[in-house]
Amino acid sequence: MDRTTLTLFLGIGAILLVASLVGAVLKRRTTSEAGRATVENLNQRVKAWWLMVAIFGAAFAFGQTVTLVLFALTSFYCLREFITLTPTRPADHRSVAAAFYVFIPLQYYLVGIDWLSLFSIAIPVYAFLILPMLSVMAGETQNFLQRTAKIQWGLMLTVYCISHAPALLMLDLPGFEGRNFLLLFFLITVVQLSDVLQYVFGKLFGRRKVAPNVSPSKTWEGLIGGAFSATAIGAGLFWITPFSPLQAGALAFAIVVAGFFGGLVLSAIKRSLGAKDWGTMIEGHGGALDRMDSVTYAAPIFFHLVNYFFVP
């Protein structure tokens, strides 16, 4: 971990420390039932952020291999939550096993050996074709399209899309060699801050719902306030990236918009399945996929924008 990255993590630690102190004070002073529920939710989020920062700090400190293992495990748990909420039949077990034990390790292995071309098509081409082949061999045709689509869709979101975050380490940016971890830091920071700021602005000023039947907590006021704040912070982080302030701001805005729709789409899937959260892994945040829903859309968008505009 270089000095810049260490400084960034110390800064985040200081912010979280202040947030923890503020949460403790609010917990003592808040008396209304609704206020206590909001403060408790906030404190649970802060605790979860401490855990996530510690995990990412360890990944940054120990290098690419640990980072890939971290994201591979994240994809594993996210896919497990997705499959758990979208039950399969015995005829699909070969496809499910292949998704977990072939395509997850393959996808992250391709990142590790910098094979960008195969990384880009392994799941959307080969897995897309192979998984139905494995299911059809069982000879069961009932709801075949729906069953197959669930596995394909889950693999695309939780493995292919999320793997674009550590794939940022593969990009060959002139003059930025050996610092690609900071691109990953930029992505995760903007995504998480956007979620947090949208929550804060929504609680403070939220009136009009964006999609009340999909995600009742998302408001236009929260979206606009959080989006512009996260974009401004992203522009201010230009100095850790190979981008100018304007470019960093534009990329941060793309991350924010993509992340918002990622969260909205995953919420729609949950609602269609009659579930509030994807799981219970993280206290106050639901499951792993509840924390990675924005990343599923933001990571591939950010990766391909950087690859298209900044890699020779």
Taking residues 117-122, what's their average pLDDT?
Answer: 96
Distance CA 251, CA 190 (A): 10
What per-residue confidence (pLDDT) applies to 49? 73
Taking residues 92-111, what's their average pLDDT?
Answer: 96
Domain boundary among 134, 155, 170: 170
Confidence tier at 195 by pLDDT (50, 70, 90): confident
Q: Are the C-beta atoms of 265 and 297 separated by less than 8 Å?
A: yes
Number of domains observed in the structure of the chain: 3
Taking residues 67-73, what's their average pLDDT?
Answer: 92
Q: Are the C-beta atoms of 311 and 172 separated by less than 8 Å?
A: yes
Q: Percent of the chain beyond pLDDT 70?
A: 97
Partners of 219 in the beta sheet?
A: 209
* Full residue range of the structural domain in which residue 33 is found: 1-62
Residues 205 and 276 in one domain: yes
Residues 58 and 73 in one domain: no
Residues 253 and 273 in one domain: yes
Taking residues 61-87, what's their average pLDDT?
Answer: 89
Is the pLDDT reported for residue 95 higher than 70?
yes
DSSP 281: S
Q: If we measure between CA atoms, which residue out of 169, 163, 107 comes closest to residue 300? A: 163
Domain boundary among 62, 91, 110: 62
Q: Are the C-beta atoms of 251 and 232 separated by less than 8 Å?
A: no
Is the pLDDT reported for residue 213 higher than 60?
yes
What per-residue confidence (pLDDT) applies to 282? 62
Taking residues 212-222, what's their average pLDDT?
Answer: 86
Confidence tier at 216 by pLDDT (50, 70, 90): confident
Whole-Å CA distances, 109 to 68, 105, 127: 8, 6, 15
Name which residue leads in pLDDT, 43 or 100.
100
Residues 183 and 307 in one domain: yes
Residues 34 and 108 in one domain: no
Confidence tier at 1 by pLDDT (50, 70, 90): low
pLDDT tens digits, 132-166:
999 999 888 988 999 999 999 999 999 999 999 99
> Alpha helix (H) ranges present in the chain?
3-29, 33-62, 64-85, 93-98, 104-112, 116-121, 128-136, 144-155, 181-205, 220-236, 245-272, 288-310
Is the pLDDT reported for residue 220 higher than 60?
yes
Q: Tokens 């009932």 label which residue?
A: 142
What per-residue confidence (pLDDT) applies to 244? 96
Residues 29 and 102 in one domain: no
DSSP 286: B
Residues 270 and 214 in one domain: yes
Taking residues 177-191, what's their average pLDDT?
Answer: 89
H/E/C letters for each residue in 209-221? Answer: ECCCCCCCCCEHH
What per-residue confidence (pLDDT) applies to 164? 97
Whole-Å CA distances, 126 to 68, 84, 118, 152, 155: 22, 24, 10, 11, 12
* Dmax (CA) of the chain: 63
Confidence tier at 284 by pLDDT (50, 70, 90): low
Taking residues 194-219, what's their average pLDDT?
Answer: 84
Domain boundary among 170, 198, 216: 170
Q: In the predicted model, what is the mean pLDDT of the chain?
A: 88
Taking residues 42-48, what's their average pLDDT?
Answer: 74
Distance CA 309, CA 312 (A): 8
Partners of 209 in the beta sheet?
A: 219
Name which residue leads in pLDDT, 196 or 167.
167
Residues 53 and 113 in one domain: no
Residues 212 and 136 in one domain: no
Query: Could you tell me the pTM of the whole model?
Result: 0.89
Residues 151 and 215 in one domain: no
Residues 187 and 98 in one domain: no
pLDDT tens digits, 253-283:
999 999 999 999 999 988 888 877 776 666 5
The SS3 call for residue 282 is: strand
Residues 284 and 182 in one domain: yes
**In degrees rounded to 5, what are phi and psi of residue 277?**
-130, 160
Name which residue leads in pLDDT, 110 or 24.
110
